[in-house]
Amino acid sequence: MIDYKQLQALAAILEEGNFDKAAEKLNISQSAVSQRLKQLEDSVGQTLIIRNTPIQATTAGQLLLKHYHQVSLLQAELQEQISLEQSDGFTKISIGLNADSLATWFLDAVKPLLDDEKILLDLKLDDQDQTHHFLKTGQVIGCISSNPKPMQGCSCIPLGVMIYRCLASPDYINQYFPDGINTEDFYNAPVAEFNNKDELQNRYLKDNFKIGPNEYPKHRIPSTESFFNIIIRGHACGMVPDQQSKELQASGKVVDMTPGRFIEVPLYWHIWSLKSGLFQRLTQRLRKQAECDLSPISH
C-alpha cells in the first residue's frame, strides 16, 4: 500500500521544482519532504526523481505522479458527492493545450464549468504536437493534441480542425513582394514563428515554395496576441488560425498571401479513462464548443 502523504510529497517536489518550495506548499519542513520521498523510494524500490535543474521524474516517478492526480480528483469528487453541504474546497484540474486553442475557443468551452462548479484550472501550454508529453508524464488529466492515437488508459475524442493561413498586411506585401508572391522574395522576407517547436511556417514554405526551415529570416514571438500584432503591423507574415483572423481578413488589414493554400491541424481531446462525472462534463463542454468553432475532421 502506497502512503498518500509520501505521494503528496513527490507531487509537490515535481510540481514546485525543488524541495524548499515543496515544503512551503505542504507546510512541513524541507527535511520532512526529503524523508517522505526517501520512504516512498524505499517502498517501491526505485529512484523517483532525477536531481537536475529543474527536478525531473523518472519513469516510475511519472507513473506515481499520474496515480496521485487521479486519486486526488476522485477524492475531491467523492467528498462533494457524500457531503451534506457543498465543500468549500476547489478541485484543480490540469490540462495541456496549445496556445491558439487557449486564445480562441477553449475558455468559451470551460466557462459554464467555471461558472457553476468550484474548479481551478492549471493550464500547461505547448505546441499541439507536443502536449501528449504532459499526459504521458502524468502532469495533466487531459490534453488537446494533434495526435489521433490514444494512450493506454486514456480516451481519445476528435474535436475538429483549426485552419491556418499565411497572413500579411498589405504594406508588408508591397515592401517584400512588389512583383507578387514568389519563392525568391521569401528568402528575404521576415516570417513570424511562435517558438522553436512551431513547425507551421516550415511546413507551409516547404510544401508551397520548397524553402527549408533555415532559409528565411524569422521573428520569434512566444505570445499569441503579439504574434498576430507583428503581422498586422507589417513586420512579418505568419500562420494564423481562422478563429483569430476572420474579422481582420474581412476588414482588409491582413490578407491571405496564397488563397486556397492553407494548413489543417486536427485536434483531439485525450483524457484519462476514469468514471468521473467531472471528466464527462469537461469532455462534453469541449466537444460542444468545438462543434461551433472548429471545422469538422474529415476521415
pLDDT tens, residue by residue, 25-36: 888 888 888 888
Between 39-53, 91-105, 253-267, the lowest mean confidence (pLDDT) is in 39-53
Architecture label for domain 162-263? 3-Layer(aba) Sandwich (3.40)
For residue 90, give the 3-state DSSP assignment.
coil
137 against 265, higher pLDDT: 265
Q: pLDDT tens digits, residue range 210-247?
A: 999 999 999 999 999 999 999 999 999 999 999 999 99
Distance CA(266)–CA(298), nearest Å, equals: 9
**pLDDT beyond 80 at 77:** no
Indicate the class that CATH gives domain 1-64: mainly alpha
Between 49-63, 238-252, 276-290, the lowest mean confidence (pLDDT) is in 49-63
In the chain, where the domains are located? 1-64, 162-263
Equal CATH topology for 1-64 and 162-263: no
Q: pLDDT tens digits, residue range 137-187?
A: 888 889 999 999 988 888 999 999 999 999 999 999 999 999 999 999 999
Helices H, strands E: what count in the chain? Answer: 13, 11
Handedness of CA 83, 89, 90, 93 (dihedral sign): negative
Distance CA(258)–CA(256), nearest Å, equals: 6
Question: Model pTM greater than 0.85?
Answer: no
